[in-house]
C-alpha cells in the first residue's frame, strides 16, 4: 500500500520542517493518557479516554498506526484514513479491562506536496485541536467534535462559557469510543514560515487563544515555544494532561528538475492562450502581424 502511493505520479517534492513536542501529566491526573507523534511528515496528538489504562492504550495505538507513515516524505489523505481505520479496529479488538470505554481523540498535521504545491493536511476527530499561524493569520483550523461546540453552534453558549461548562470534556466523535468515528479533513496551502500547532484540550482548557497566538508569534525556536505553551497550561491550573506539537515550514521544494521538463511545455501552452488573444487585434490592425 505504501509502496504504490510512493510511486504516485502526482506527488513530488517535500516540505522540510522543524518541529518540537512537549507533554506533561499536569497537576491533578495520576497518569498521562495523551500520546504524541513528532516525526515528519506526521505530527499528532491523541487524547485517550476510558477506564483503567484504556485511554493510554487507545492513544498509543493511534500513534503506532500513524508512525508507520513516517518512513515516507509525503502522505496521502487515503493513507491517513487507512491509519485511522486500522487504529479503530485495534481499539475495538482490545480485550478485558482495557476495552472499557477505550477511545481517543486524534488531531493530525501532515505534510504533502501535490503538483509542486506544498500543503498542510489537517485531520481531526474529537476535541484536540490544530491551529495555524501564517503571516498575519492566526486561526483554529479544526472544529471540535464536542457537546459544547454543538451548543456554541446553536448560539446557546459563548466560547468563554464553554471553558467552564460541566460537559466541556464530552466529545461527540472519537476513535474507538461511540458510534461517530468519521474524521474531518482540511487541505491548506503551506507557506515557508508557517507554524502549525497540534494540542490536546489540556492546553486549550487552561490557555486562551490570545495567549497561544502570542507564544506562537514569538521569535523563539519551536522547542522553546512548545515548552512555553505547556508551562502556561500548568500555570493556568494543569487540571488535565497537556500535549503540544509545534511544526514550522522552513523549505518547500516542488517539482524535481526532470519533472519540470515534462511539465513546462504544458504550462507554456496554457500561458500562450490569453497571449494569442491579446495579439490578435494588433495583427488585424496591421501594426503587428508577427504571427503570420
Minimum distance, C-beta of residue 25 to Mn ion, in the bound complex (Å): 11
User: Of 3-11, 57-65, 191-199, 235-243, which segment contacts Mn ion by CB under 5 A?
Assistant: 235-243
| 56 is a site residue for Mn ion (CB under 5 A) | no
User: Of 187-195, 232-240, 253-261, 275-283, which segment contacts Mn ion by CB under 5 A?
Assistant: 232-240
| 65 is a site residue for Mn ion (CB under 5 A) | no
User: Of 160-168, 207-215, 237-245, 263-271, which segment contacts Mn ion by CB under 5 A?
Assistant: 237-245
- State which of positions 80-99 bind Mn ion (CB under 5 A): none
Q: How far apart are CA 20 and CA 225, in angstroms?
A: 8
Distances (CA, A) of 50 to 21, 97, 100, 116, 243: 24, 10, 6, 43, 18
**What angle do helix axes 222-235 and 209-217 make, rounded to 10 degrees?**
150
| 201 is a site residue for Mn ion (CB under 5 A) | yes
Q: Where are the alpha helices (DSSP H) in 70-182?
A: 77-92, 147-153, 159-162
Minimum distance, C-beta of residue 58 to Mn ion, in the bound complex (Å): 13
| 248 is a site residue for Mn ion (CB under 5 A) | no
| 240 is a site residue for Mn ion (CB under 5 A) | yes
Minimum distance, C-beta of residue 178 to Mn ion, in the bound complex (Å): 16
Q: Is the peptide bond before 41 cis (omega within 30 degrees of 0)?
A: yes
Longest Cα separation, the chain: 87
Using the rule CB under 5 A, which residue among 47, 56, 144, 194 binds Mn ion? 47
User: Of 18-26, 53-61, 109-117, 233-241, which segment contacts Mn ion by CB under 5 A?
Assistant: 233-241
Q: How far apart are CA 226 and CA 142, in angstroms?
A: 19
| 127 is a site residue for Mn ion (CB under 5 A) | no
Q: Is the peptide bond before 65 cis (omega within 30 degrees of 0)?
A: no
- Total residues contacting Mn ion (rule CB under 5 A)? 5
CB atoms within 10 A of CB 30: 7
Amino acid at each position: 500500500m505504501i509502496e504504490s502511493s510512493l510511486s504516485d505520479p502526482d506527488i513530488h517534492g517535500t516540505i522540510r520542517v522543524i518541529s518540537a513536542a512537549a507533554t506533561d501529566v499536569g497537576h491533578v491526573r495520576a497518569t498521562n493518557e495523551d500520546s504524541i507523534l513528532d516525526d515528519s511528515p506526521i505530527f499528532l496528538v491523541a487524547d485517550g479516554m476510558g477506564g483503567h489504562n484504556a485511554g493510554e492504550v487507545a492513544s498509543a495505538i493511534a500513534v503506532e498506526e500513524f508512525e508507520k507513515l513516517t518512513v515516507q516524505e509525503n502522505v496521502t489523505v487515503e493513507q491517513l484514513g487507512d491509519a485511522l481505520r486500522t487504529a479503530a479496529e485495534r481499539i475495538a479488538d482490545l480485550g478485558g479491562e482495557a476495552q472499557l470505554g477505550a477511545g481517543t481523540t486524534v488531531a493530525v498535521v501532515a505534510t504533502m506536496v501535490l503538483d509542486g504545491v506544498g500543503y498542510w493536511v489537517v485531520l481531526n476527530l474529537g476535541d484536540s485541536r490544530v491551529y495555524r499561524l501564517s503571516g498575519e493569520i492566526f486561526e483554529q483550523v479544526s472544529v471540535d467534535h464536542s457537546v459544547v461546540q454543538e451548543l456554541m453552534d446553536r448560539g446557546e453558549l459563548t466560547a468563554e462559557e464553554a471553558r467552564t461548562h460541566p460537559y466541556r470534556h464530552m466529545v461527540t466523535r472519537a476513535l474507538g469510543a461511540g458510534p461517530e468515528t468519521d474524521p474531518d479533513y482540511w487541505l491548506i496551502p503551506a507557506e515557508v514560515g508557517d507554524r502549525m500547532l497540534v494540542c490536546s484540550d489540556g492546553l486549550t482548557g487552561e490557555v486562551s487563544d490570545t495567549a497561544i497566538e502570542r507564544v506562537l508569534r514569538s521569535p523563539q525556536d519551536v522547542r522553546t515555544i512548545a515548552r512555553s505553551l505547556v508551562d502556561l497550561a500548568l500555570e493556568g491550573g494543569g487540571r488535565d494532561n497537556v500535549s503540544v506539537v509545534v511544526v514550522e515550514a522552513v523549505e518547500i521544494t516542488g517539482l524535481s528538475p526532470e519533472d519540470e521538463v515534462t511539465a513546462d511545455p504544458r504550462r507554456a501552452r496554457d500561458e500562450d492562450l490569453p497571449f494569442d488573444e491579446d495579439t490578435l487585434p494588433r495583427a488585424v490592425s496591421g501594426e503587428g502581424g508577427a504571427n503570420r
